[in-house]
Structure 1
Amino acid sequence: MKKNMSKNVKFLLKISISLLLIGVLLKNINIKDVMSYIIYFDKKYILVVIISYTLSLIVNGFKWKILMKEVPFRHLLNLNLIAQFYSLILVGQVSGETAKVLFTKKFGCSIEKTIASVCVDKITGFISVITIGIIGMFFTNNHIESIKIALITILIVLLLSLIILKNSYIYDKINKCLIRFETKSKIVKPLRKTLDSWIMYVEDTKNIYFSIFLGIVFHLIGVTSYYFISLGVGFKLGIAEYCWIHAVLSIALFLPISIAGVGVRDLTFVGFLGYYGVTSSNAMAVSMIIFIINFVVGIIGGIINMYYLVKDKNIKTKLSD
């Protein structure tokens, strides 16, 4: 009862934060102008944006496939779409990643191995997006120096997280510490298995490098789509500028402080695009179009989710008969 109450409080808090941020933004934005930019979006860029998002989904599927070789690619692609659905309706990206773990179990993968793969996939993804963010900052003279320092610091921490646990001495120390508590807690044994799977993944340096490379490709496609959305709305901003804005946005959206990134995404775009002289209405239009695209992708994920659930139910019914 208390657990459900706590979840409800957190959910309401996130809705409140989203509404508060949107409310603050709308005070300084002409919503009619925003809707006008969306309605009269330049049609010649629609196909380019759709192709960009489709390619990014495919690349992201291949990126996870590097780690989850035993699961067919089409299912990994579907699971990424399902993750988008749960990220949309629940508490953010954490919900999406949890859904990936639970659904992957249906394909014969252990939860421990899947958790490790999702963690490694997420970390290499952050390394990729922060890398292009830092590179973008070096290609533009007009950026915020403190953000560059923050991105470099986060990148170093992420790289160290891959390297430190790969070290056999540190691994042995952690493993021995966990063994001591194995009889006292049920969670320790699965935790050890997850750690073993983590080591298996990070020791394959070739796959880690390839995963980071595909992550860079994935995020560059995303940045390119931002560029064309901007053109469709009626203004132009360079790819380099969008690289570091996208990096900051990716970190902000991972924090579970709003519903589906609403408010956080908008504030990020309005704030940082405004730094380059883009009007708040233009920036808000870009943010809303990106949300609409993510919403459509999430709905597709929801349909696939229903298909898997119905399929599982039918299988169980046949087995019981």
Structure 2
Amino acid sequence: MKKTASYLLRIGITAGLLILLFFRTPLKKIVSIVLQADFYWLLGAFLLFFFLNVLVFLRWFLLLRGRGIHVFPPRLFLSYLVSLFFNLIFPSTIGGDAVRTLDISRHTQRHSSGILASVVLDRVSGFLGLVTVLIFSLAFGYKVFNDASIFLATGILLFLVLVFCGMMFSGRFFGLLAACIPFGGVRGYFEKIHKETKAYKGQRSVLWMSWIISSLTHVGLAFTYYLTARAFGLDYSLIYFLIFVPMITAFSSLPVSIGGLGVRDAASVFVFAKIGIAAEKAFAISLMNFGYTFLLGLLGAAGYVFILYRRRV
């Protein structure tokens, strides 16, 4: 009952934000902007987005291999694409992460805690890369764009990343938090995950590579937004996108909407307004970038229906 209510609440938040945005920016304007877009800029943005997802897949592949979990790369990439599809229909990225954890756990006949540890570390390294790009962008771009709210948000994100790192790698810090978990079974499962993530301390090369890949991915994602903006006739400095896109990504990762819809779009309209981009164009940029994810999600859906599901039936 609680799960149903929570899911309905997220649907309501998603629908409410989208209705509000469409009320401010009529659909006709959005469609007109998209139809007038430069196809080649959009194609370049999509191809870059696809390549970035290959990099994210590679990061997960390295993390699994670092714990001795070997999966045939095409099979693992299929699981990753399927998770993208479930990210579109479940709250934020949590649903997709659960799907790929269970899928690879069944495929390898390994306990799910080891797989989930790689997924958790995959996400945390992603946020570490996000904060890294944001800090460097602010360091080089503070003269171009100096906004106290962005600096505050960066500090909060850095704090959260440090907390998650402490949970994964510090036994003492984890013990303090685990003591607050009232259910023994749940606490025991988290202890297994902590044991698996802590083991990565001996895999420093894997951790370094994960961080580098994450940083490159967020630079690339900012460039994807930049290319999309160019397709819509906007010519702004790349530094703005290197600052704004990590913030948009962080907000869209909050588990309060379906697939980040609504939240991502509202965040885009809000931050891009700071440099004078009209709401309808900011909304169009956000929707187009969701469209790239949607196309990859469709590939994942096809893979799930025609390959994974058929094998289990």
Q: How does 1:104-253 map to 2 (within 5 A)?
A: 104-108=104-108, 109-140=110-141, 141-159=144-162, 161-163=164-166, 165-167=168-170, 185-253=184-252
> For the residues of structure 2 that align with 1:10 and 1:129, how far apart are their CA atoms?
28
Quick one: which amino acid aligns to residue 166 of structure 1? F
Q: Does 1:8 align with 2:4?
A: yes
Q: Does 1:46 align with 2:42?
A: yes
Q: Alignment partner of 2:192: what SS? A: helix
Check conservation: 1:93, 1:253, Cα contact below 8 A.
no
Q: Alignment partner of 1:68: what SS? A: helix
Once structures 1 and 2 are overlaid, which stretch shifts more, 73-82 or 89-98? 73-82
Length, aligned pairs only = 304
**Aligned counterpart, 2:97:** 97
Deviation at 1:239?
A: 2.0
TM-score normalized by structure 2? 0.89
Question: Rg bigger for which structure?
Answer: 1
Quick one: which amino acid aligns to residue 135 of structure 1? F
> For the residues of structure 2 that align with 1:175 and 1:154, how far apart are their CA atoms?
19
> For the residues of structure 2 that align with 1:72 and 1:207, how far apart are their CA atoms?
18
Q: Alignment partner of 2:64: what SS? A: coil
Q: Alignment partner of 2:14: what SS? A: helix
Change (3 A) 1:305 1:158: same
Quick one: which amino acid aligns to residue 229 of structure 1? T
Q: Which runs of 5+ in 2 are unaligned?
A: none
The percentage of counterpart residues that share the same residue type is: 20
Change (3 A) 1:276 1:169: closer
> For the residues of structure 1 that align with 2:236 and 2:179, how far apart are their CA atoms?
52
Change (3 A) 1:240 1:169: same
Quick one: which amino acid aligns to residue 299 of structure 1? L
Q: Which of the residues 12, 16, 19 maps onto 2:15?
A: 19
> For the residues of structure 2 that align with 1:174 and 1:71, how far apart are their CA atoms?
35
TM-score normalized by structure 1? 0.87
Deviation at 1:23?
A: 2.1
Deviation at 1:284?
A: 1.2
Change (3 A) 1:34 1:9: same
Change (3 A) 1:190 1:19: closer
Q: Which of the residues 28, 33, 38 maps onto 1:37?
A: 33
> For the residues of structure 2 that align with 1:164 and 1:15, how far apart are their CA atoms?
31
Quick one: which amino acid aligns to residue 249 of structure 1? I
Once structures 1 and 2 are overlaid, which stretch shifts more, 301-310 or 142-151? 142-151
Q: Deviations over 1:156-214 (max 9, x none)?
A: 4423542565346557x579979xx9xx9444443332221111123422211110100
**Aligned counterpart, 2:51:** 55
> For the residues of structure 1 that align with 2:163 and 2:204, how far apart are their CA atoms?
14
Q: Deviations over 1:66-110 (max 9, x none)?
A: 111112222232222111111111222111111111111122132
**Aligned counterpart, 1:82:** 82
Deviation at 1:149?
A: 3.0
Check conservation: 1:21, 1:267, Cα contact below 8 A.
yes
Deviation at 1:65?
A: 1.1
Change (3 A) 1:22 1:167: closer
Change (3 A) 1:176 1:278: closer
